[in-house]
Structure 1
Amino acid sequence: MADPLSLVNDLLAPVFADIAGAPADPVVRPSDRADAQVNGALPLAKQLGTNPREIAQRVVDSGALQTVCTDVEIAGPGFINLTFDDAFLAAELGAIAVGDRLGIVADPHPRTVVIDYSAPNVAKEMHAGHLRTTVIGDALVRMLEFAGHTVIRENHIGDWGRPFGMLIEHLLDIGEDVAAEGMQQGDLDGFYKAANAKFADDEEFQARSRDRVVKLQSYDPETIALWERLVEMSTAYFNQVYDKLDVLLTDDDLMGESVYQPKMQETIDRLRSAELLEESDGATVVFPPGFTNRDNEPLPLIVQARTGGFNYATSDLTCVIDRVERLGADLLLYVVGAPQAQHLQMVFEVAKMAGWLEPPAEAVHVSFGSVLGEDRKMLRSRSGDAVKLVELLDEAVERAAAAVAEKNPDLDDAERDEVARTIGIGAVKYADLSTDRIKDYVFDWDRMLAFEGNTAPYLQYAHARICSIFRRAEVDRTSVRSTEIALGEPPERELAKRLLAYPSALDDTLATYSPHKLCTYLFDLAQDFMSFYEHCPVMKADEPVRSSRLALSDLTARTLEHGLGLLGITAPEAM
C-alpha cells in the first residue's frame, strides 16, 4: 500500500503523459485547502504553450481519480484540489493494519551499501563528538536494511600510526594487567595522556617509541602481539559504550586503518598506472579538477609524503577500492563530520578519475554539525575537557530515573530502572537525530528529557498511553487488526492520512539520509493521535465505533514503535 499522495501521483502519471506526449510529473502535494493538490498543469501548460486550466480540466475529465476522491475541484490558474473518499482511506488503513510492514514496500532496486561510521581511536576515549556519527550511522543502517538493501557496517577505527610506538612502550612500562584494568574503568584518556607526557619528557622513552614504530611497520611478531593487545583492550571498552548506546556495531564490523596498510602501495601503483600522479614540493600528489587554495591555485591531494609515508588520503582511496571491488558495494556512505567535506570530496573525485568509482557506484558524504554547550561552543565538561560519551549516557539515565520516579512512583525498582534506561538513552539519541544533521545543536538536558515537545519521552509516552488504553479495556491489541475502520470525525481522517504517509516519510528520509525527517513525521503522528484521543472517545464509544477507534489506536502505536525502532530507540509499553 502507498501514501494516498503517491497513489494519486501513480494514477495521474499516465494522464499527464498522454497530454504531454511524454512522461510528465503530476506534482501532487499536501494542501491546506484540501487533502491534496495537483500542481502539474501549470508547468505542463507552460511547456505546451496552452492554458493550464484547460489541462486541469482534461485531467479531471479523465476520471482517473473517481475511486479515491469524493471531490475534485479546479482552483486558481489550474490547481486541482482533491478530497479523498473516507471509504478509500479506511480501506487503505485496513490493508496495512493486517501486515507487518505498515505499508512500506521493499525497494525494487536494492543496493549493496557500505556505511562508514563511529570510528573511534584506539587508546582514546569516545567523546560527545562520537555521538553524532554513531547514532546517525546506526539509524541509517536500520532504515536501509528495512528498505531491503544489503548493508555492510564498517567501523573504521584509528588503530595504526606513529603514536602506537609510545603507546606500546607505555603498555610495557605499566604492565598489561594495569592497563587493562584502567581501560575497563573507562580511563583510555588517562592511558594516552600518560604515554604522551612521558614521550615529551623522557628522551630514552622517545628513542624506544621510535624504534617500536619501526618494528610495528615491519610487522615484528612481538610488537604486533602487543599492538593487538592494545586494540583488544580498547575495543572491549568501545563495546561497553555501544551497549549503553544500544547500537548495532560489533567486533565483526571493525575495519581499522591497519587493514589497509598492506594495500596502500598497490593504490599508489594503480594511480601511477593511470598517469594521475605528480610531484609537488617533494610529495606525490593528484590534482583533482575544481579544487583550489586561497590563492586560486590548484589544490593537491597528497597521497605519499616526501618521506615516502602514506596518509589519510592513501588510506581512504584504498578503502574505496576495497569497498567497491571486494565487497561489491554500489553505495558508499561516509557518516563523517562536516569539517572533512573537502578532503572526502577530493578523495571521491580522485577515485572517479582512476576509474574506481564509476556508475552505478557512488560515494556520499553524510556530513553533520557539532554538539554545542550552552555557550554555543564545543560541548565541554566543567574542567574544560571533552565530555566522555559514557559519562554523558550514564547521566542521561540518572536524570531519566528521577523524572520517571516523579511521574510514575508506582513502578517497582526493576521497571523503573529499565524505563529510565530506555528514556534516558532514547532522549539523547532523539535530540541528536531530530536535528537537521548538517546543523550544530545545543545539548540541553531539560529540553531533551521533557515529556512535551518534539522529544523522545513525548513520543515514548504517546506509545505507552495507547498501550494503557488496551490494558484498561482488557483487549488484546492483535484482535482489532482485522477490524473494519470507519472515519466519521475530522480528527480520525487526519490521523488516518498521517498513518498512510509513513512510507513516504521513510522514503523522504532516505532520499537525503536525514533522520530528522522521520523524527518530524513521528512527532506529527503523535500530535495527531493526541488530538484524535481528545476529541474522539475510545473507551466510551458504542460499537462498532469503539472497535474502529481501537484499531486506529493500535495502528498508531505500531507505527510509533516501528519508527522509533528505525531510529534505534525503544518504545516502552508503560512509563
Structure 2
Amino acid sequence: MSSLPSLLSQRVQAVAGADPELRPATKPQFGHFQSNVALRLAKQEGAKPRDVAQRIVDALDLDDLCETPEIAGPGFINFRLRSDVLARTVSDQLADPKAGIAQTTEPKRIVIDYSSPNVAKQMHVGHLRSTIIGDCFRRVLSAQGHTVIAQNHIGDWGRQFGMLIEQINDEKLDLDTLDLPGAEALYRRANAHLNEDEAFAERARERVVKLQSGDPETKAQWQQLISISLAGFNRTYRRMNVLLSDKDVAGESTYNDMLAAVADDLESRGIAVHDSGALVVFVDGFDAPAIIRNSAGGYGYDATDLAAIRHRIDDLDADRIVYVTDARQANHFKLVFSIARRAGYLPDDVQVQHVGFGMVLGPGGTPIKTRDGGTVTLESLLDEAEEHASPQIALAAIKYADLSNSLQKDYVFDAERMTQTTGDTGPYLQYAHSRCAGILREAAARSLVSSDATTITVLDEPAEQELALWLTRFGEMVQVVADELTPHKLCTYLFELATKFSAFYEKCPVLKSDGDVRSSRLALVAATKQVLATGLDLLGIIAPDRM
C-alpha cells in the first residue's frame, strides 16, 4: 500500500518524466508539498520554468488526491492533499490492527543471526547491541508477513570446555547449585589453573578429546553447562523484552558434524588448498586466506560459518540471511560470503548481508570497562539505567539510544540523559503514548466518546492536517526499515510523530471542542496512540498507558 505522498510522487513523475522530489511545504498556505521539477526540466529544455510547470499541471489528473495544484514563484508547483482523502486514509489506518503496515506480496524466509553469547559467561556490553538490533529486525520483518527464523549462534563448543569440566571434577562441584554468574566465576578459576599448571592443561586437552569423541559423562557435564547458561541468557532476554528463546538456539556445536564434509568438498573441487599444513581458501582482495582446517586438524570460525550457511540454505530454505555483529567482523563475513558464493553454497538469488554496529562507549568517549579494566556485564548496564527510572522506562531509554543512532556509529551510554522524558529519547515517546491514552480515558470517563469517534470527518486546522499526513506515512517508513535495515529512521519518524502530536494538542483543543470536530480530534488521538504503540513495539519498547 503506497502512502499518499508516494502515490502523489508517482503520478507527477509519470507526467513530468522526472522525479518530482517532493518536499514538505515551508508554510501551510503553500499546501502540503512543493516540487521544483519544472525548474529542473526548464533548464534542460531551455524553456521558461512557469511554462513547463503549467504544462505539467495541465496534464496531471489528481482530482482523487489533491486540490488543483498551484504554480508559485519562478515555477514551483504546490500540492495540497484533499482533507477528505487525508481523513479517510487515517480512519482506515485506525481500523487496521497493524496500523497501516503493508503486508508483503512476496513473503520470504529470513534468517537473522544475532545475540550469540558464550556458554559459561554472562552477556556483556558487546552483546547489548546485537541483541537489541536483531530483535528489532525480527519484529519489523515479521510484521510485514515474512517468516523470520532467529538463529542464536551461541559459543557452545571449543577447547575451553576441557578446562571447565576438569575444574568441575577437581572441585567436585555440584552443577545443580550453579547459576550463570557462578559458571563465569568457574571459568575464571579454570583459566587461571590452566595457566599455572601444565598437568592440568594436559588433562584439559585430553578432556576436549573425550568431549569430541562423545564420552557420555563429559558430554553430560557439557550439556549441563549449556543449560545453566541458557537459563541465565533467558532471564536477561525476558528482562530486555526480546523474543529470543531456547527454540532459536543454534550454537557452534550444531555444525560439528558438517565441518569435515565442508572441508572435503572444498578441497575436492580445488577451492581449498593446503598451505603450511593447513587447509585454506585464498580469495582475491583479501590479505589472508580463510582457514578451513588448521595444521592441528581443528576447525575454526571460517569453517563453522560456511557450514551454517549451507544449513540455512539447504535445511532452513532461507531467501535472505542477516548477520548482526560487531562492525569489526565485517572483513570476516565478506570473506565467508565470497567463498560461499564461489562454492555454490549461497545461490545468487539469496540476499546475505552483515549489519555491523559500532561500540558502546562510556561518558568519557572510551570503551566501557569495569574499574579494574574488566568487561561490563549487560545486567549491570540495565541496573545502572534503573537507578534513574523504572525498569520499563530504563529499558526504553537503552533501546532507543541504541536504535536511534546510525548502527555503524559508536554511541555514549549516558543513563541519566537517556532516561529523560524530554528530548529525543525513548521515555519521551512513551510519555507521548501515555498522554494519548490519558486523553482517551478522560473522554470515556466524561462520556465524550461517541460511536463514530474512530472516524475522522473534519480536518480544517493545519496542525490537524500535519499530524494526519504524518500518520499516513507510518507504513512507508516501516518498509524503508525492512528494506534498508535502518531502525534509526523509524526512531526519527516516531519522534517527529510525538512532536507533531504535541503541536496539534496545543493548537487544537480536543476535549473542549464539540460535535464532529471533537470526534475527529479524538480519532486523531487514537490513531496517534495506535501508531506510537505499534512503532514502539517494533523497537521492542513497551508503550505504557500511564507514566
TMscore range, shorter length: over 0.9
Instruction: Write the letter of the residue equivalent to 1:538.
Output: V
Aligned length: 542
Between the aligned partners of 1:53 and 1:358, the Cα distance in structure 2 is: 52
1:559 aligns with 2:531: yes
Match of 2:249 in 1: 254
Between the aligned partners of 1:31 and 1:311, the Cα distance in structure 2 is: 57
- Pairing of 1:18-417 with structure 2 (within 5 A): 25-32=19-26, 34-38=31-35, 56-74=53-71, 79-177=76-174, 179-184=175-180, 186-291=181-286, 293=287, 299-400=288-389
Between the aligned partners of 1:481 and 1:542, the Cα distance in structure 2 is: 12
> Can you list the C-alpha shifts for 1:46-77, whole angstroms capped at 9, x where unaligned?
88898876664443222322222224234677
Displacement of 1:467: 1.0
Instruction: Write the letter of the residue equivalent to 1:487.
Output: L
**Gap change, CA 1:240 and 1:537, over 3 Å in 2:** same
**Gap change, CA 1:117 and 1:97, over 3 Å in 2:** same
Between the aligned partners of 2:49 and 2:284, the Cα distance in structure 1 is: 44
Match of 2:477 among 489, 505, 508: 505
Match of 1:414 in 2: none
Instruction: Write the letter of the residue equivalent to 1:263.
Output: M
Match of 2:405 in 1: 435
Between the aligned partners of 1:57 and 1:350, the Cα distance in structure 2 is: 56
Between the aligned partners of 1:76 and 1:289, the Cα distance in structure 2 is: 56
> Can you list the C-alpha shifts for 1:219-259, whole angstroms capped at 9, x where unaligned?
22221111111111111111111111111000000000001
Question: Please, which runs of 5 or more residues in structure 2 have no aligned partner?
Answer: none
Displacement of 1:120: 0.2
> Can you list the C-alpha shifts for 1:488-537, whole angstroms capped at 9, x where unaligned?
11111111111111111112222221111111111110011111111111
1:470 aligns with 2:467: no
Between the aligned partners of 2:247 and 2:396, the Cα distance in structure 1 is: 25
Displacement of 1:436: 1.3
Between the aligned partners of 1:547 and 1:482, the Cα distance in structure 2 is: 8
Partners of 1:93 and 1:485 within 8 A in 2: no
Partners of 2:154 and 2:252 within 8 A in 1: yes
Between the aligned partners of 1:174 and 1:432, the Cα distance in structure 2 is: 41
Partners of 1:135 and 1:247 within 8 A in 2: yes
Between the aligned partners of 2:102 and 2:75, the Cα distance in structure 1 is: 33
Between the aligned partners of 2:477 and 2:415, the Cα distance in structure 1 is: 28
> How large is the Cα RMSD of the aligned pairs?
2.3
Partners of 2:15 and 2:60 within 8 A in 1: no
**Gap change, CA 1:393 and 1:43, over 3 Å in 2:** same
**Gap change, CA 1:478 and 1:525, over 3 Å in 2:** farther
Displacement of 1:381: 2.5
**Gap change, CA 1:339 and 1:31, over 3 Å in 2:** farther
Displacement of 1:194: 0.8
Between the aligned partners of 1:359 and 1:165, the Cα distance in structure 2 is: 40
**Gap change, CA 1:217 and 1:39, over 3 Å in 2:** farther
- TM-score normalised by length of structure 2: 0.93
> Can you list the C-alpha shifts for 1:423-453, whole angstroms capped at 9, x where unaligned?
1222111111111111000000111110101
Displacement of 1:85: 1.9
Partners of 1:485 and 1:552 within 8 A in 2: no
Partners of 1:485 and 1:551 within 8 A in 2: no
Match of 2:516 in 1: 544
Displacement of 1:31: 4.5
Instruction: Write the letter of the residue equivalent to 1:115.
Output: I
Between the aligned partners of 1:97 and 1:188, the Cα distance in structure 2 is: 50
> Can you list the C-alpha shifts for 1:61-96, whole angstroms capped at 9, x where unaligned?
223222222242346776533222222211211221
> Can you list the C-alpha shifts for 1:399-418, whole angstroms capped at 9, x where unaligned?
21xxxxxxxxxxxxxxxxxx
Say which SS state the counterpart of residue 67 (structure 1) adopts: coil
Between the aligned partners of 2:48 and 2:151, the Cα distance in structure 1 is: 54
Partners of 1:485 and 1:549 within 8 A in 2: no
Between the aligned partners of 2:265 and 2:335, the Cα distance in structure 1 is: 17
Displacement of 1:539: 1.1
Partners of 1:159 and 1:258 within 8 A in 2: yes
Match of 1:531 in 2: 503
**Gap change, CA 1:267 and 1:478, over 3 Å in 2:** farther
Partners of 1:139 and 1:566 within 8 A in 2: yes
Match of 2:493 in 1: 521
Say which SS state the counterpart of residue 179 (structure 2) adopts: helix
Between the aligned partners of 2:25 and 2:171, the Cα distance in structure 1 is: 68
Between the aligned partners of 1:55 and 1:315, the Cα distance in structure 2 is: 61
- TM-score normalised by length of structure 1: 0.89
Between the aligned partners of 2:115 and 2:450, the Cα distance in structure 1 is: 38
Say which SS state the counterpart of residue 152 (structure 1) adopts: strand
1:572 aligns with 2:534: no
